[in-house]
Amino acid sequence: MQYLFQGWNARGDERYKDLILDTGTEELGHIEMISTMIARLLDDAPVNEQEKAAEDPVIGAIMGGMNPHHAIVSGLGAMPEGSTGVPWSGGYIVASGNLVADMRANLNAESQGRLQVARLYEMTDDRGVKEMLSFLLARDTMHQNQWIAALKELEKEHGVTVPSTVPKEWEATDFSYDLLNFSEGEESKEGSWTSGKTPDGEGKFGYVKDPQAHGGKQELKSAPSYMHGTPPTKKDKSGIFK
């Protein structure tokens, strides 16, 4: 759904719009594949096969009652839910209208997706399931690479910092390129992110060993009485709260 909404909302270069919608349409096919796999795995499974499957700790936990939805709710079919029965939500969708930001979100999604498919591959010895997962691994390889390729084009044209349209006078540029050290040691200093030219080509990295606060101590005033919050504390003449 993320790809579809990105594509439907895309403005400008039709290449990126088509790329995103091509991938979104393909992913609908992947959902159908996985749904069919789930139904076939659940359909008419003989008792001896169920007992054998239950020896696997993961499958045994499901058959033991942790996730009865497949039998009770969907009649041995797939549902738009996670492995723990939590329904899918549109809240995960990233469709910001900024192609650089969206492509990075897509790359992350495909990276996490391929990681989880690889873990599923390790968890099964079913030849048919492995064959399907092998296909999904391959397609996720393509999707990661296509987003990387698209990002390189977009970053070359629009820059690497999102959004690239922010006027410099809006930004407190004294703080734009320094890594602030809040660790006990200084291991984070030993990286390409603390020295040399920045990827956006507009500055040089710096490292602040002991960052200091800018501004005084902040104290909130009491909330309005109608909020019935904690009453304000008062200090006596010696400065002690009472």
110 is in an annotated binding site: yes
- Residues composing the chain: 242
122 is in an annotated binding site: no
214 is in an annotated binding site: no
196 contacts: CB under 8 Å, gap ≥ 6: 204, 205
10 contacts: CB under 8 Å, gap ≥ 6: 16, 17, 20, 99
Q: What does the alpha-carbon distance between residue 107 and residue 147 come to, in Å, rounded to a whole number?
A: 6
For β-strands 178-180 and 206-208, DSSP reports them as: parallel
192 is in an annotated binding site: no
- How far lies 20's CA from each of 23, 137, 158, in Å? 5, 19, 18
184 is in an annotated binding site: no
185 is in an annotated binding site: yes
18 is in an annotated binding site: yes
228 is in an annotated binding site: no
229 is in an annotated binding site: no
Query: Per the annotation, where are the binding residues for Ca(2+)?
Result: 18, 22, 181, 183, 185
Binding residues: 18, 22, 27, 30, 110, 143, 181, 183, 185
Residue list, annotated binding site for Mn(2+): 27, 30, 110, 143
